[in-house]
Structure 1
Amino acid sequence: MLAETIFSAASAAGLGIAAVTAYRKRFLAATRIAAYSLVPVGLVMTGVVEWVSGIAFKPSVWLGFGVLGLAWLLFMTTRAVERRRGTSRGERKAARAAQGEAIAPAASAPPSTSGIPAGRPRAKPKKEQAAASGDDFSDIEAILKKHGL
C-alpha cells in the first residue's frame, strides 16, 4: 500500500512539472514528461508494483536468488579449474582440426588443371595477380611521393 502511494505521488508531481513546462510553451517536452509521469500509475494499476513488493519481501525468493548465485559460483569454479588444467577451448579446437585432417587430408586440395575445358579461360596464377596489384600500389606510391605525402 505504501509503494502504491509513493508511485501515485511521483506521477502527480511529474504531471505538475509537465503542466508548468506546457505553460512555458515547450509542448514537446511537456508531452514527454507527461508520458514518463504516467508510467508509475500504470504500473500500480496493472498490479506490477504489488507483485514486485510481494517478491522483494519473501524470504523464499531471496533463498532462490542465493541458490542461483551458488550455481553460478560452482559453474565459474569449474571453468577456472578447467583452464588451470590446460584443457582450453583452443587446445580442443586444435585437436579437432588435427583429427579432421587425418580423416580426409585431400578433401580440401585444389582441383587439377587438366580437367579445365579448352574454351574456358584459365585464371591467372597468384604470383601474376600479386604482381598486378603491386603495380597498382606503385602507381599510388608515385602519386603520393609527387605530392609530398
Structure 2
Amino acid sequence: MTFDQIAWLPLSAGVTAVGIALSYLAFRRRGLAAGLRATAWSLLPLAAYLTGALRTVWNIGSAVVGFVTGLVFSPMVWAGVVVTGVSALLFFVSGGMRGRTLSRARAAGADPEAAAKPGTPRKPAKAAGPQPVEGGAKPAPADDFSDIEDILKRRGIS
C-alpha cells in the first residue's frame, strides 16, 4: 500500500476527534492540566496531515520496515553481521594480548610501549651459566641444562 492510496484527511480528523473526546474525559476526571495535555496530543495527527509531516513520517516508517525485513530475510546481511562479530572478537582478543605484553614488560622492567610495538627488538635475557671473572680467569663451564633444571625445580618437578 502506498501513501497516496490512503484517505489521510478523514483518518487524521477522526483520530483528532476521538482524542478530543477522550481529552474531555481526562479533564473531568483528572483536572485541567491533564485535559489540556491530552488535547495537545490529540491535535498532533491533524497537524501532521496539514503540514505535510505525515508523508515524512510514512517515508521514515516504510524505510525502517524495509531495512528490518531486508535484515531479517537476507543471507548476505547475516554474513555481514557475522563478519562484524568476528571483527569485534578480534579487537577484544588483540587488546587482551596487548595488555599481557605490556604487563610482562612492566614486570621485566622494560619500556612497556616499546614492548607492545611489533618488530621492536627486545633486550636479550642475561646469559645463564658462567660469567667471566675479573682478572681473565674463567670458571669451569656449567652443564647446558642448568637453566632447565632451575625451571623444573621451581615448578616442583625434579
TM-score band by shorter chain is: 0.3 to 0.5
TM score, norm. by length of structure 1: 0.45
Relative contact order, higher structure (CA 8 A, sep 6+): 1
More helix by share: 1
TM score, norm. by length of structure 2: 0.43
Give the structure with higher Rg (CA).
2
